[in-house]
Structure 1
Amino acid sequence: MTVPASQPAPMSRREWLLSDRPQSRVQARLGRAYVTWRQFSANKLAVLGLIIIVALLFVAAFADLLATHSPVVGDLKNARLLPPGTGEYLLGTDDQGRDILSRLIYGSRLTLFVVVLVAVISAPIGLIVGTVSGYAGGWVDAVLMRITDIFLAFPKLVLALAFVAALGPGIENAIIAIAITSWPPYARIARAETLTVRRSDYISAVKLMGASPVRIIIRHVMPLCLSSLIVRVTLDMAGIILTAAGLGFLGLGAQPPLPEWGAMIASGRRFILDQWWVAAMPGIAILIVSLGFNLLGDGLRDALDPKESGQ
């Protein structure tokens, strides 16, 4: 009588994700994503930063439901400069009788609007300039890097002020100005990554297969630069928020009555000694969101950097 061979125990989901011999590209990608998430979630401060950013997204998405008052129209006769906790005004009111909490909630939309558009504009520009410069070399590299050095020679806020002064005040022009001043660091990072991989055996094999330089840059070099670029963009988002708030504080960003946090601080500076909450509340909001982006960026850097994570 023959004894049937024992069947191997089925793999658990965790073992399937952590398998060192993936059976498909999907399994390999999910495995890398799972390992990255484990390393990220092990950093408690990074998780705190993620919670702050998710809360910001939630507040911005449901601002119409969360805000209890209009962000632009206030009760100037009966609710001017009320302190926090007065009646239905949890964070008090400003000099126009507008609910500060409602203005902060709607202002989160403007903050995300600025951050997302600046990242969408500046990151691709920096990625293209850096990869082309690093892969082409020669006079192309020299010209592109000298242009990058010119932009890096000026402080970001000063250069943004110059562009906004030329373009005119407004949230759209502020976004363009910040994006123009934000791409050089991304170009530097992409160039450094490209220089490390352009002479690798992997790129040489792609060349032997007849791939053009454009295809090599787009399909094989740029994806290798994305992880470092994502980390840098996340870390720079706090600086983008501060620059946008600085332009708003100087009257060159979002214009009244838009509830932009920097403009709210500017309007409340006249009452900083007696009615401190008018300027302090948007300042605290900027602090919390900037801290969230910094913590998130630090966690992504540790999780995505092979040297740090040991992958």
Structure 2
Amino acid sequence: MTDVSRAAHASVSRRQWLLDPSPGSRRQAAWGNAYRRWLQFRANTLAMIGLVTVVLLIAAAIFAPLLATHDPSAIALENRLAPPSAAHWLGTDDLGRDLYSRILYGAQVTLGMVVAVVVLVAPVGLVIGVVAGYVGGWLDTLLMRVTDVFMAFPKLVLALAFVAALQPGVTSAVIAIALTAWPPLARLARAETLTIRESDFINAVRVTGASKGRIIMRHVMPLCVPSIIVRIALDISGIILTAAGLGFLGMGAQPPMPEWGTMIATTSGFILSQWWVPTIPGVAILLASLAFNLLGDGLRDVLDPRQE
């Protein structure tokens, strides 16, 4: 048997093992379930386009120092407002800085803000929602009224208020966006918990004498995680737009940092004459937001059991 035939045979064996309708272990069942979800996700063309685009954006951000052709902060006034060319693939801005390099480094800033916000809001929203939904009573009322207060204001307006109370900058923008992004997650986690807490298996665990904390941590939270993942994936586009909006209004990343919203703000006056200068960062924002929306839709179809 040749190496190629051995590899093909091993691949077929792995596939049969993963798709076995009667798994012999919890490990096999878990891997089989994950593989079936991947096959379902892969069949969604738009979701795969979103996934590939997101992976490319992340790779561009990580390898920006290797992919960039110029120093993103290097000023060359003799090349200011140059159109796209072999020397400057996406042209230059009003200070002669290479737009292609600034877009790559801007991906680091934007995606870094997204990661920071997600790391902050996902645990907070999940814990608040699950605790409120499972414990109920006055604690549920208190937590949900606080959530309602944050949800009563438009996200960008509330973020602007928080940044104004602090000081303009990336850190302040991340904190402000995080403070506006957790309420929908808390609401979703609470709704999921309300449907879970009276389930037969939760009652069985409760009868065994398990504490509320153990039930919440070991049994309720894991069941809420898929919905939270889907909601976060769909909300990332909003986070990107809010971060860009804060940068555009001068309350987020500050020049000369190559953040996409800030790049548009500092070059918006050239939209009619040198259109590529403000348009290219806008296209980057559009592609990133669209990619995460497509990815979120695909994850919803796979992870949400209510979706057919």
TM-score range normalised by the length of the shorter chain: over 0.9
- Give the whole-Å Cα distance in 1 for the aligned partners of 2:68 and 2:15: 42
2:191 aligned with 1:192: yes
What is the aligned partner in structure 2 of residue 102 from structure 1?
101
SS of match in other structure, 1:255? coil
Corresponding residue of 1:4? none
SS in 1 for 2:246: helix
What is the Cα-based RMSD across aligned positions, in Å? 1.1
Kindly report which structure 2 residues correspond to 1:258-269, keeping only aligned pairs within 5 A, or say none: 258-269=257-268
Other-structure match for 1:34: 35
Aligned twin of 2:278: 279
Offset at residue 74 of structure 1 (A) = 2.0
Whole-angstrom CA distance in 1 between matches of 2:21 and 2:270: 62
Aligned to 2:302: 303
Q: Which residue of 1 aligns with 2:6?
A: none
The aligned counterpart of 2:81 is 81
CA distance, structure 2, for counterparts of residue 142 and residue 252 of structure 1: 34
- 1:203 alignment partner in structure 2: 202
Query: What is the TM-score when the length of structure 1 is the normalising length?
Result: 0.94
- The residue type paired with residue 146 of structure 1 is R
Partner residue in 1 for 2:70: 69
Q: What is the identity, as a one-letter code, of the residue corresponding to 1:57?
A: I
How far off its partner does 1:270 sit? 1.3
Q: How far apart, in 1, do the equivalents of 2:14 and 2:122 lie?
A: 36
What's the CA shift for 1:62?
Answer: 0.7
SS at match of 2:306: helix
Equivalent residue, structure 2, for 1:143:
142
Q: Please report how far the alpha carbon of residue 148 of structure 1 lies from its aligned counterpart in structure 2 after TM superposition.
A: 0.5
Question: Within 2, Cα distance between the matches of 1:12 and 1:99?
Answer: 51
Q: Distance in 1 between matches of 2:269 and 2:76?
A: 19
CA displacement at 1:14 relative to structure 2: 2.1
1:279-301: CA deviations, max 9, x gaps?
A: 00000000011110000000000
Letter aligned with residue 79 of structure 1: N
**Inter-partner Cα distance in structure 2 for 1:290 and 1:37:** 23
Between the aligned partners of 2:134 and 2:21, the Cα distance in structure 1 is: 32
Question: Which ranges of structure 2 fall in alignment gaps of 5 or more residues?
Answer: 1-9
Provide the C-alpha distance between the structure 2 equivalents of 1:188 and 1:50, rounded to a whole number of angstroms.
27
Structure 1 position 112, deviation (Å): 1.0
Counterpart in the other structure of 2:92:
93
| Partner Cα distance (2:201, 2:22) in 1 | 21
Aligned-partner SS, 1:39: helix
Matching residue of 2:7: none
The CA deviation at 1:194 is 0.2
Are residues 1:236 and 2:208 paired? no
CA deviation profile, 1:84-140 (whole Å, cap 9, x unmatched): 12x410110001100000000000001110111101101111101100000011111
Separation in 2 of the partners of 1:112 and 1:24? 39
3-state secondary structure, aligned to 1:12: helix
- Counterparts of 1:168-179 in structure 2, within 5 Å, are 168-179=167-178
In the alignment, the residues of structure 2 paired with residue 127 and residue 16 of structure 1 have an alpha-carbon distance, to the nearest angstrom, of 34
* Helix, strand or coil at the partner of 1:172: helix
4+ residue runs of structure 1 moved beyond 6 angstroms?
Answer: none
Secondary structure (helix, strand or coil) at the match of 1:307 reads coil
